[in-house]
């Protein structure tokens, strides 16, 4: 449908966040805390990050800003804030400690459209890099699958029913993780 076209062809940030990979990482924004500070589950954005008015959801990958990159590459780490209608209200770029808001539709300021496109690109790259490198490679391959294989091989006999049940899920795990 339309959401699929927007997500995969046009790279629409809202479509990615609500119907794509981002839906796994979305959190609700809670602004009812004492002192007015906004919170959300898994917050990695610094205290300077104040969600735009009307924010109800956030896609926060700001924690990636702590990791260095090779010279010539940009550091990752940003958070996108969404309204109830799923529109993007703003993007926090952690490394620059600034909130980028959508440009005015009727008369955008010079450079505002390019800045907004850059901010959305920053969120998409942070989302996909964080999902692949941290969650997929580290958690799935190195921690979970290695632990499962070591436990299965170290504590269950080859004919054990649980080992036979787990085997299809760990097939070639050692070879893949060794690559």
Whole-number Å distance between alpha carbons of 121 and 13: 8
Say which range, 20-29, 33-42, 88-97, has the weakest mean pLDDT: 33-42
Q: At what angle do helices 146-155 and 161-170 cross, to 10 degrees?
A: 150
Closest CA to 92 of 103, 105, 102, 77: 77
What local confidence, expressed as pLDDT, does residue 34 receive? 54
Helix (H, G, I), strand (E, B) or coil at 3: helix
> What mean pLDDT do residues 57-69 have?
93
Whole-number Å distance between alpha carbons of 4 and 105: 25
β-sheet with 57-60: strand ranges across: 26-28, 57-60, 78-82, 88-93, 98-100
> What mean pLDDT do residues 42-46 have?
85
How much is the pTM? 0.78
Q: Is the Cβ–Cβ distance between 137 and 72 less than 8 Å? A: no
What local confidence, expressed as pLDDT, does residue 133 receive? 82
């Amino acid at each position: 449908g339309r959401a699929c076209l927007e997500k995969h062809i046009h790279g629409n940030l809202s479509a990615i966040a609500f119907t794509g990979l981002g839906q796994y990482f979305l959190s609700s924004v809670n602004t009812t805390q004492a002192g007015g500070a906004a919170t959300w589950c898994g917050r990695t954005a610094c205290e300077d990050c104040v969600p735009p008015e009307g924010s109800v959801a956030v896609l926060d990958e700001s924690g990636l800003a702590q990791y260095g990159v090779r010279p010539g590459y940009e550091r990752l780490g940003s958070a996108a804030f969404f309204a109830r209608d799923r529109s993007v209200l703003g993007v926090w770029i952690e490394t620059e400690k600034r909130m980028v808001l959508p440009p005015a539709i009727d008369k955008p300021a010079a450079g505002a459209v390019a800045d907004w496109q850059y901010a959305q690109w920053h969120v998409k790259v942070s989302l996909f890099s964080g999902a692949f490198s941290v969650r997929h490679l580290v958690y799935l391959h190195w921690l979970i699958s290695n632990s499962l294989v070591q436990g299965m091989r170290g504590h269950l006999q080859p004919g054990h029913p649980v080992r036979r049940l787990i085997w299809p899920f760990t097939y070639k795990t050692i070879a893949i993780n060794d690559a």
